[in-house]
C-alpha cells in the first residue's frame, strides 16, 4: 500500500487517491495549427519512463484537489508531492 502525502491533508492511504497520469501535458492553444501527427502525439503518446516520473494525483476521497508527484516507476517510491503551479 502506498502512503501518499496530499499537500493539503498530509499522508493518507493509496485507496483515497485516484491517479491522473503524466503531468505537464498542456492542451495546445491552437489545435487547428497542429498537424494530425502533432495532435496524435498530444492525445495519445506518453513518455512512460522506467524511473522518475512526474505525475498527477487527485485526493478523490479527501479534499478532492489535484496535485503533482514525482514517483519512481520501478521502486514506486514517491520522492515528493507538490501543489500544482508551485
Other beta carbons within 10 angstroms of residue 59's beta carbon come to: 19
CB of 25 to other proteins, least distance (A): 12
Contact pick of 27, 36, 85, 86 for other proteins (by CB under 8 A): 36
How far apart (Å, rounded) are the C-alpha atoms in residues 28 and 39? 8
Which region, judged by CB under 5 A, interacts with Zn ion, from 8-16, 25-33, 42-50, 74-82? 8-16
By CB under 8 A, tell whether 61 contacts other proteins: no
- Are β-strands 52-58 and 18-22 bridged in parallel, bridged antiparallel, or unpaired? antiparallel
What is d(CA 63, CA 65) in angstroms, rounded to the nearest whole number? Answer: 5
Q: Kindly state whether residue 59 participates in binding Zn ion, applying the rule CB under 5 A.
A: yes
What is the spatial distance between Cα 82 and Cα 21, in angstroms, rounded to a whole number? 15
| Binding interface with other proteins (CB under 8 A) | 1-2, 14-15, 18-19, 21, 36-37, 39-41, 43-50, 53, 55, 71, 73-76
Amino acid at each position: 500500500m502506498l502512503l501518499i502525502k496530499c499537500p493539503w491533508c498530509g499522508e493518507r492511504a493509496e485507496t483515497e487517491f485516484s491517479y491522473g497520469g503524466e503531468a505537464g501535458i498542456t492542451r495546445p492553444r491552437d489545435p487547428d495549427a497542429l498537424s494530425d501527427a502533432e495532435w496524435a502525439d498530444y492525445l495519445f503518446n506518453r513518455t512512460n519512463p522506467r524511473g522518475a516520473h512526474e505525475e498527477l494525483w487527485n485526493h478523490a476521497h479527501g479534499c478532492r484537489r489535484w496535485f503533482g508527484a514525482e514517483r519512481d516507476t520501478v521502486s514506486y517510491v514517491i520522492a515528493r508531492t507538490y501543489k500544482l503551479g508551485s
